[in-house]
Amino acid sequence: MLKEVTATRYVTPLREGGSLPGIVEADDLGTYVMKFTGAGQGRKTLVAEVICGQLGRRLGLRVPDLVTIQLDPVIGLGEPDQEVQELLKASGGLNLGMDYLPGSLGFDPLAYEMDPVEAGRVVWFDALINNVDRSWRNPNMLVWHGDPWLIDHGATMIWHHNWPGAPASAAKPYDASDHVLATYGPDVAAAAAELAPLVTEELLTEVTADVPDAWLADEPGFDAPDAVRRAYVEVLLPRAATIHERVTVGERTERRPSRAPGWLADRLAPRPRTAGSGTTVQSKQKDGGE
């Protein structure tokens, strides 16, 4: 189960996101990017964020910590933006928070170097969850302390919008030719050999258990939240075993030099990898470091 906190202060909206997420402070002294149940995309966006985010972390990918956040709409009474006020009013109760990464920068594929093995892990993971929202136009990746972090998984698992057609939808190939990491020559086969055996029924059951019952209740065609959780497991488990056979990446092309200024390219440049570097970075953040 995800840690639950209570929002104590709404800081500012993040207008880059279509659902208007916002930065909030909570009673655990943490700062989070909050995604709202009252946003236009609905609660399934939050379900996808939890399942994919938790699965990615369990597979060793860098995904910010997730929490659930209790929101009292009164917190937004002093917010001057009418759109934000309405969103807060519509989102009373349980919402989702992602650990805020202070000082992080948007991923620039023209400035950042990544080896084919690491790129392959990300592409394989995105193929598993059918993530169509990590393109060069919208990478949904951040660079923090020299490492790439994966964010924004709300548009994944398109099959959960039409459960009767889920098996056919999940059996379709994954076109990665537009993926932000396609030009790195991702080694999807190596990633599948490493990660697919880790995606077990037990793991998926644990990951789906992190989704609050309230976000799964009253799903058409299901009589209880646990039945919905089981449906996710039954789609993802066989997909993990075979999706690498249906990934289209295309030919590797030479990437153009970055157009970012020198100081920015230096900040985006990766630092040397060390075992457990993701854990180390998270520890730094919790200590209040940038």
Q: Does 211 lie in the same domain as 225?
A: yes
Which DSSP string do the residues of 49-71 spell out, in sequence order?
Answer: HHHHHHHHHHTT-----EEEEEE
Q: Does 119 lie in the same domain as 88?
A: no
Q: Is residue 199 part of a domain?
A: yes
Q: Does 214 lie in the same domain as 130?
A: yes
Q: Identify the pLDDT of residue 269.
A: 53
Q: Check if the beta carbon of residue 61 is closer than 8 Å to that of residue 126.
A: no
Predicted TM-score (pTM) of this structure:
0.86
Q: Does 92 lie in the same domain as 13?
A: yes
Q: Is residue 277 part of a domain?
A: no
| Helix axes of 116-128 and 225-242: crossing angle, nearest 10 degrees | 140
Q: Does 21 lie in the same domain as 146?
A: no
Q: Check if the beta carbon of residue 155 is closer than 8 Å to that of residue 119.
A: no
Query: Side chain identity at 14, as an amino acid letter?
Result: L
SS3 33: strand
Question: In whole angstroms, what separates CA 127 from the centre of its chain?
Answer: 13
Q: Is residue 283 part of a domain?
A: no
| DSSP at 260 | S
| DSSP at 172 | S
Q: Does 233 lie in the same domain as 116?
A: yes
Q: Does 39 lie in the same domain as 53?
A: yes
Q: Is residue 178 part of a domain?
A: yes
Q: Is residue 177 part of a domain?
A: yes
* Count of domains forming the chain: 2
Q: What is the mean pLDDT of each run of 10 residues along the chain (290 residues)?
A: 97 82 97 95 94 99 99 89 92 98 94 95 99 93 97 96 95 96 97 99 99 97 98 98 94 48 51 38 37
Distance between CA 112 and CA 141 in Å, rounded?
12
pLDDT over 70 percentage in the chain: 86
Q: Does 32 lie in the same domain as 145?
A: no
Q: Is residue 193 part of a domain?
A: yes
Tell me which of 99, 124, 140 is where a domain ends: 99
**C-alpha dihedral (65, 41, 95, 280), degrees to nearest 10:** 10
| DSSP at 165 | G
pLDDT tens per residue, range 174-185: 999 999 999 999
Question: Cβ–Cβ contacts within 10 Å for residue 134, how many?
Answer: 26
Q: Does 231 lie in the same domain as 134?
A: yes
Q: Does 54 lie in the same domain as 8?
A: yes
Q: Identify the pLDDT of residue 179.
A: 97
Burial grade of 40 (CB within 10 A; 0-12, 13-18, 19 or more): exposed
Q: Give residue 132's domain range.
A: 105-248
Distance between CA 87 and CA 137 in Å, rounded?
27
Q: Identify the pLDDT of residue 77.
A: 83
Q: Does 139 lie in the same domain as 86?
A: no
Question: Cβ–Cβ contacts within 10 Å for residue 29, how many?
Answer: 10
Q: Is residue 228 part of a domain?
A: yes
2 φ, ψ (degrees, to nearest 5): -70, 145
Location of structure tokens 């302390």: 145
Location of structure tokens 């055996």: 197
Q: Identify the pLDDT of residue 17.
A: 60
Distance between CA 53 and CA 151 in Å, rounded?
8
Tell me which of 82, 99, 116 is where a domain ends: 99
Rg (CA), the chain: 19
Q: Check if the beta carbon of residue 139 is closer than 8 Å to that of residue 106.
A: yes
Q: Identify the pLDDT of residue 230.
A: 99
Q: Is residue 32 part of a domain?
A: yes
Distance between CA 172 and CA 130 in Å, rounded?
10
Q: Does 63 lie in the same domain as 39?
A: yes
